[in-house]
Amino acid sequence: MSPTDCSRFDVCSANLCPLDAGLSDRIWYADEAICKSQKHGRHRWIRKQRSIQRRKTASWLEKPITFQMLSDASRKRVVTPETIERLKSMRRRKQMRCCNVSAPFQPEGIQTHSPIIWER
């Protein structure tokens, strides 16, 4: 496929087109247009472009950005079980702070083996 096969070709001004065979030779600046095609615009690197524009990320502004740079920055991360547990504990702590809920009081040396079930 080529960029002319896109339904938005006549109105699109994106420098990085997912249908472009020479995509790896193109550059993009953070203030330029991004592909808005519903069919072709769901690539991970296009979402990274949108993120850069939305957040105005300082490390990306004012410099030429290549397709390879966007692909590397938007690659899928490998998540280990330890990372998952760390994220879960961070979420629990945040919820406790958000809702003004303190951790349940447990005197030293006493361990509970089952959760307390409160009846109404």
Q: What is the pLDDT of residues 23-72, one digit of tens each?
A: 889 999 999 999 888 887 788 899 899 999 999 888 888 899 999 999 88
Distances (CA, A) of 84 to 39, 93, 94: 32, 14, 15
Tokens found for residue 20: 């472009």
Query: Are the C-beta atoms of residues 45 and 18 closer than 8 Å to each other?
Result: no
Least Cα distance to 36 among 3, 14, 65 occurs for 14
Q: Measured between alpha carbons, how far is 100 from 93 in angstroms, rounded to an integer? A: 10
pLDDT tens-digit profile of 70-82? 988 877 777 888 8
* Direct distance between the N- and C-terminal alpha carbons of the chain, in angstroms, rounded to an integer: 64
Enumerate the domain spans of the chain: 3-73
